[in-house]
Amino acid sequence: MQHQELMLPAKLLKDILPQLEIRGLKNFHQHLDTCQLQVSSSDGLTNFQQVREKVKQFNPEQGWLCFQSEVIYFETEENQDNSQKEQALNKPSFFEKLGLSIRLWRKLPNTQFKMPESGILLYGEVVNNQKSLHIREDGHGGCILTYFTEKKGKDVLVETKSFLGEGKGLTPEKLYYRIYWQYDEQYGYRQFAARFIGFKQ
């Protein structure tokens, strides 16, 4: 069997990785899965109102948005009763840190996302089911919007990782990402994309 066939994601995950006896890698495959990932990006958008509209149309359930003067984190809180949810949504708390306002929101489940009125949007990562949207400055006065859609498949390897947030009541405790690995004939498997999936696994 050719080397390239051995390195196919499904073959690697099922037959090769379980046989590894290298210390620390024996159970490595248990954290991996296979999938298909579709990635599309917009050209640099210089109309920031258009950027805001694109995020609103995406209707995210969780995520963070960095504006010029503040960072907003929002997530759907399933465990609060309706009165608590409405109070948290309509009266968000502010925390001052290094001159930057940090705001935590609770989004009501199954409701339309309301874009905050906080000026120019610079960065952000938001998610809606199996789709994610990342917002980045392009270095030329505009923004690039990158859409990620994960589907069932065997094209790439994927794993879920968590990273610590600021916590301490300022931000969610953890941020979760799907990390995607693709085979390169020269370098082997390399990470080629990471997709924000929310604050809870």
Per-residue pLDDT tens digits for 114-137: 877 767 888 999 999 889 999 998
The per-residue pLDDT for 144 is: 94
Report the predicted TM-score, pTM, of the whole model to 2 decimal places. Answer: 0.76
| DSSP state letters, 94-141 | EEEETTEEEEEEEEPTT--------S-EEEEEEEETTEEEEEEE-SSS
- Higher pLDDT pick, 109 / 48: 48
Residues 6+ away with beta carbon under 8 Å from 59? 112, 113, 128
Residue 20 lies in a domain: no
Residue 24 lies in a domain: no
**pLDDT (tens digit, 9 = 90+) per residue, 9-30?**
666 666 555 555 555 555 555 5
Number of domains in the chain: 1
Question: pLDDT band for position 175 (50/70/90)?
Answer: very high
Residue 104 lies in a domain: yes
The per-residue pLDDT for 158 is: 93
Long-range CB pairs of 170-174 (<8 Å, 24+ gap) are 170/95, 170/97, 170/102, 170/104, 171/64, 171/71, 171/73, 171/102, 171/104, 172/73, 172/75, 172/104, 172/199, 173/199, 174/199, 174/200
Q: Which domain holds residue 142?
A: 32-198
Residue 16 lies in a domain: no
**pLDDT (tens digit, 9 = 90+) per residue, 184-196?**
778 778 899 999 9
Residue 59 lies in a domain: yes
Burial tier of 92 (Cβ tally within 10 Å: 0-12, 13-18, 19+):
middle
Residue 145 lies in a domain: yes
Residue 15 lies in a domain: no
The per-residue pLDDT for 171 is: 73
Residue 5 lies in a domain: no
Residues 6+ away with beta carbon under 8 Å from 63? 73, 74, 124, 125, 126, 127, 196, 198
